[in-house]
Amino acid sequence: MLSFKNVSVVYEKGEAPALNNINLEIKPEEFVCVLGRSGAGKSTFIRTVNGLQTPTDGRVTVLGNELNCLKEKRLRKLRSEIGMIFQHFHLIPRMSVEQNVYTGRFGQRPVWKNMLGLFSEEEKRLTDSYLREVGLYEFRGRRVERLSGGQKQRVGIARAMVQEPSILLGDEPVASLDPTTSDHIFQLLKSLHLKRKLTTVINVHDIELAEKFATRIIGLQNGEIVFNGTPSEMTKTDLQHIYK
Ligand SMILES: Nc1ncnc2c1ncn2[C@@H]1O[C@H](COP(=O)(O)OP(=O)(O)OP(=O)(O)O)[C@@H](O)[C@H]1O
């Protein structure tokens, strides 16, 4: 599903690599949490999966496509298979919940249809169904700027899901939320993951959330994988190593 072969990312010549010779396979339907200190390379890792960051060395293969070899059109098509959620939501504050969710379809439609705001019955049905699933159907007409952080992240999740992705990526999606809301968001992510048979990869700072929800944990330190195993395999020593 996802494969990293000797992948390194160096942002500035002469500086330490943000990712250093990563070798990794992620299989379909895994729920992977990536742990690591600030600056360990978690965001860089996620960004290499959807082609937002090009590796300096090595090969990233996603759904059988080697990213380096893809032309813009194929990359765009592949990205429509990859939903993404963010720490700061990346929503359009003055637009409604529903309109924000519709933008998840933009990558799969001609630009003129997006500009005219024309959506098919199928797209409307999909949007309504995900708004119900994330618990925001009653709020569909409300401007996003009038929502709480947890509600905003639910909009972000619905927007990612209307793409009907097979891969869901999260770059610290709960870092701005309180512990209870974070747990609720993870419960939602896990239920979508199971129901839609997603392959999910999420960066998270909260060790307890990773232990509770992940099927596999990857620990990064200084751009290298220092732990790769199930939550039950992760010992205190492993954690000390990740957060050293
Ligand atoms: N656009 C960039 N240009 C130059 N250096 C960068 C860039 N983005 C990240 N870095 C550097 O790469 C390293 C890894 O950063 P990255 O953001 O991937 O870590 P992270 O684990 O996601 O951190 P955080 O938890 O703080 O978000 C850091 O040393 C960072 O300073």
- Per residue in 32-51, pLDDT (tens digit) is 999 999 999 999 999 999 88
Provide the pLDDT for residue 114.
62
Provide the pLDDT for residue 242.
92
Distance between CA atoms of residues 9 and 178, nearest Å: 32
| Among protein residues, the one whose CA lies closest to atom 12 of ligand 1 | 18
Ligand 1 lined by 40 (C-beta under 6 Å): yes
Provide the pLDDT for residue 118.
65
Distance between CA atoms of residues 232 and 151, nearest Å: 31
With 0-12 / 13-18 / 19 or more C-beta atoms within 10 angstroms meaning exposed / middle / buried, residue 13 is exposed
Which one of 42, 201, 243 would you pick to mutate in the ligand 1 pocket, going by the greatest count of ligand atoms within 8 A of its CB? 42
Q: Dihedral sign for Cα 234, 176, 172, 18, please.
A: negative
Provide the pLDDT for residue 132.
97
Which one of 10, 12, 19, 44 would you pick to mutate in the ligand 1 pocket, going by the greatest count of ligand atoms within 8 A of its CB? 44
Ligand 1 lined by 17 (C-beta under 6 Å): no
205 CA closest ligand 1 atom index: 25
- CA angle 52/57/59 to nearest 5° reads 70
Going from the Cα of 227 to the center of ligand 1, the distance in angstroms, rounded, reads 19
| Among protein residues, the one whose CA lies closest to atom 25 of ligand 1 | 38
Q: Is residue 188 within a helix (H) or strand (E), and if so which, with residue range? A: helix 179-195
Going from the Cα of 223 to the center of ligand 1, the distance in angstroms, rounded, reads 10
Residue linked to tokens 């919940």: 97
Provide the pLDDT for residue 122.
87
- pLDDT per residue, tens digit, the chain (244 aa), is 899 999 999 999 989 999 999 999 999 999 999 999 999 999 999 999 988 899 999 999 999 999 888 888 888 888 889 999 999 999 999 999 999 999 898 777 666 666 666 678 888 899 999 999 999 999 999 999 999 999 999 999 999 999 999 999 999 999 999 999 999 999 999 999 999 999 999 999 999 999 999 999 999 999 999 999 999 999 999 999 999 8
Provide the pLDDT for residue 120.
82
- Is the distance from CB of 8 to CB of 57 less than 8 angstroms? yes
Provide the pLDDT for residue 164.
95
Domains of the chain, with CATH numbers? Answer: 87-167+190-198 (3.40.50.300), 205-243 (no CATH)
The predicted-structure confidence for 196-240, as pLDDT tens digits, reads as follows: 999 999 999 999 999 999 999 999 999 999 999 999 999 999 999
Ligand 1 lined by 8 (C-beta under 6 Å): no
Provide the pLDDT for residue 119.
72
On whether ipTM exceeds 0.90, the answer is yes
Ligand 1 lined by 18 (C-beta under 6 Å): yes
Provide the pLDDT for residue 74.
85
Residue linked to tokens 């990857």: 218
Instruction: With CA atoms as reference, report the closest residue to 60 among 73, 71, 47.
Output: 47
Token readout for 134 is 């994330």
**Confidence (pTM):** 0.93
Which one of 8, 10, 11, 13 would you pick to mutate in the ligand 1 pocket, going by the greatest count of ligand atoms within 8 A of its CB? 11
Going from the Cα of 59 to the center of ligand 1, the distance in angstroms, rounded, reads 20
